[in-house]
Amino acid sequence: MRRHVLWSTVAAVAAMTVLGTTAANAEGRGDIRVTKGVTNNGKNVIVGVSKTVTFPIKVTVKDNSGVKGLHDLYAGNATSTAGAPTETVAESCKKLSATTSECTATVRLVPAYFPDYNSERNANDAAGGWCGYGNVAANDGDYWIFDCVAPFNLKRAATLTTAATSPSPLSGGKQVKVTGTLSRADWEALKYRAYGGQSVQLQFRKAGTNAYKTVKTVRTNSSGRLSATVTASGSGSWRWFYPGTSTTAQVASAGDTVTLGPATMRAPYTMHAATRG
């Protein structure tokens, strides 16, 4: 199987040539159709700043003569002209019945290629809604060119830290201060940058239980920092949870355990009169 490298200009020209310059529409000949599609097993594709990401695009294809094969299935941006350095590295089809096959394309994305990929757009603009594009052929010569199947979100990875300060026994042993920092991948600079102005949930999991519960919501400052002081009901773990957006992945920090002990009473201070010599 030949490798198919997808640069934004190539994808745009191909889309105009195959699908027309007006709004893209699937077209073909005969009864062959793509009846189902899913990308990355139904999960978002999350990309950071260094690790290569590989994900599958699967389509179910049906024709009364049987499916001959898959041709040039690739990932393309459905919401913006900004592209991403995706590369289809493998294509294959598995026969499910005499008329139906499941075809899979394996797509690879290398973050290191982002900065030079979009010459006129910020690389971060590539985050958002994406689809699978390509064409399939049947044994009787039928073919089907499809413009948007297996939709998915391409998202910028995020990181989140947590630090919980154990309360002082002298203060009654209930006040806990929890801090943290939210950052997200900058594909243009290939580093994580502070993500300000975001609502993040402070969550608590009581010792001996499995589920975290939201205690309050805090907004990150311009440096991506979070801080909250809360009254603890008992020992347990504290963490921050960011639900994400259509372009940024959700993330939960590791929990920081705080153990509450009994309050310590201050010893009374007695002033003694000076003794004359």
Q: How far apart are CA 26 and CA 37, in angstroms?
A: 14
Contact between 72 and 134 under an 8 Å Cβ cutoff? The reply is yes
Q: How far apart are CA 146 and CA 136, in angstroms?
A: 8
Conformational region of residue 210, where left means phi above 0, alpha means psi within -120 to 50, and beta covers everything else: alpha
Conformational region of residue 8, where left means phi above 0, alpha means psi within -120 to 50, and beta covers everything else: alpha
pTM of the model: 0.82
Class of domain 4-155: mainly beta
Q: How many helices (H) and strands (E) does the chain have?
A: 1, 20
- Per DSSP, the residues of 154-199 read EEE-EEE--EEEPPPGGGTS-EEEEEEEEEEEETTTTEEEE--S-E
Q: Which of 130, 137, 162 is nearest to 53 (CA)?
A: 130
Q: Which residue has the tokens 């592209």?
A: 83
What is the fold of 158-258?
A: Immunoglobulin-like (2.60.40)
Contact between 176 and 185 under an 8 Å Cβ cutoff? The reply is no
Q: How far apart are CA 159 and CA 49, in angstroms?
A: 12
Handedness of CA 251, 175, 227, 257 (dihedral sign): negative
Q: How do residues 62-114 score in pLDDT, each as one tens digit?
A: 999 999 999 889 999 998 889 999 999 999 999 999 999 999 999 999 999 99
Local mean pLDDT, 10-residue blocks, the chain (277 residues): 35 34 62 96 98 97 96 91 93 97 97 89 95 96 94 98 76 81 97 98 95 97 97 92 98 92 47 39
What are the tokens at 195? 């993500």
Rg (CA), the chain: 27
Model pLDDT, residue 171? 53
Q: How far apart are CA 170 and CA 14, in angstroms?
A: 71
Contact between 258 and 166 under an 8 Å Cβ cutoff? The reply is yes
Conformational region of residue 239, where left means phi above 0, alpha means psi within -120 to 50, and beta covers everything else: beta
**Range(s) for CATH 2.60.40.10 in the chain?**
4-155, 158-258
